[in-house]
Amino acid sequence: MTGSTCNTNTRASSGVYWCESETQSSNAANITIHSVPHPVLTVSPSWTSPGDSVTLTCRWRFFWYKAVPDMSDYYTYELLAGGTTGTEQDSYILHGQTHTAGYVCRARRGDPVFYTLYSDVKFVWSGGVNPAASFTVSPHRLQHFSIESLSLICEGNSAEWRVMKVDEDGDVSTCSDWGEMTGSTCNTNTTASSGVYWCESETQSSNAANITIHSEFIFI
């Protein structure tokens, strides 16, 4: 205890903490202290003869999810087929990918089980035509200037659409961050920037377009 400050050490544990003097007591805080998870290491074989080889393995179990659009937020996560109990392989093969979709993963380890945070969402984009969801840009080109306004139009079998963008840094945003969504059309303002754009609803995702926004006119 130094003055009115208590500096904890590594022996701190979970519990209810508060301050008090001879005449006063503060509000209380219920603090949970988690132990640092340890990797699970296995060795094979564990008994050897001179000159034997030994395999060291740190086992993780990976879970793979599809990012499902959530119109009240960004995404919810849905386990991919075959991933309900996880897999010890650090890769997952997507067969027959035909549409734009986002994916995340996380891992677990230890006993008791500890889950990592979800990864950032990574997208697989499709430029092919999807009859249930289409995305068009007006003016109809992929090179634009920052002084221009764009109309990004969603069409298909959904009552509610949103226009999404992933910029060159991998940041995900929606039309409301750089334009105005009116019905199924996003009208951009001059803060639009280069990135991959597409439409999505809770059940459909459109083709994607890689749009470049130039800050000034380029003379050739």
The mean pLDDT of 199-213, rounded to a whole number, is 90
The answer to whether residues 142 and 212 touch, using CB atoms and an 8 Å cutoff, is yes
Average confidence score pLDDT of the chain: 83
Q: Identify the residue whose tokens are 């940041």.
A: 171
pTM, to two decimals:
0.71
Flag whether pLDDT at 199 surpasses 90.
yes
**DSSP letter string, 163-190:** EEEEETT--EEEGGGTEEEETTEEEE-T
The whole-number pLDDT of residue 187 equals 92
- Tell me the C-alpha distance between 15 and 1, whole Å: 18
Sequence ranges of the domains in the chain: 58-124, 133-214
The whole-number pLDDT of residue 129 equals 76
The mean pLDDT of 158-180, rounded to a whole number, is 91
The whole-number pLDDT of residue 34 equals 59
CATH of 133-214, one of 2.60.120.620, 2.60.40.10, 3.30.360.10, 3.40.50.720: 2.60.40.10
Residue 30's closest CA among 45, 14, 9?
14
The whole-number pLDDT of residue 157 equals 86
Q: What letter represents residue 3's amino acid?
A: G
The answer to whether residues 77 and 118 touch, using CB atoms and an 8 Å cutoff, is yes
The mean pLDDT of 3-22, rounded to a whole number, is 77
Contacts of 130 (CB under 8 A, 6+ apart): 98, 99, 156, 204, 205, 206, 207
Handedness of CA 166, 171, 172, 176 (dihedral sign): negative
The mean pLDDT of 205-211, rounded to a whole number, is 89
CA-based max dimension of the chain:
80
- Tell me the C-alpha distance between 59 and 164, whole Å: 36
The mean pLDDT of 132-152, rounded to a whole number, is 83
| pLDDT tens per residue, range 54-87 | 787 777 888 899 999 998 888 999 998 876 778 8
- Tell me the C-alpha distance between 125 and 129, whole Å: 12
The encoded tokens of residue 73 equal 């937020």
Task: Using pLDDT thresholds of 50, 70 and 90, give the confidence band for residue 36.
Answer: low
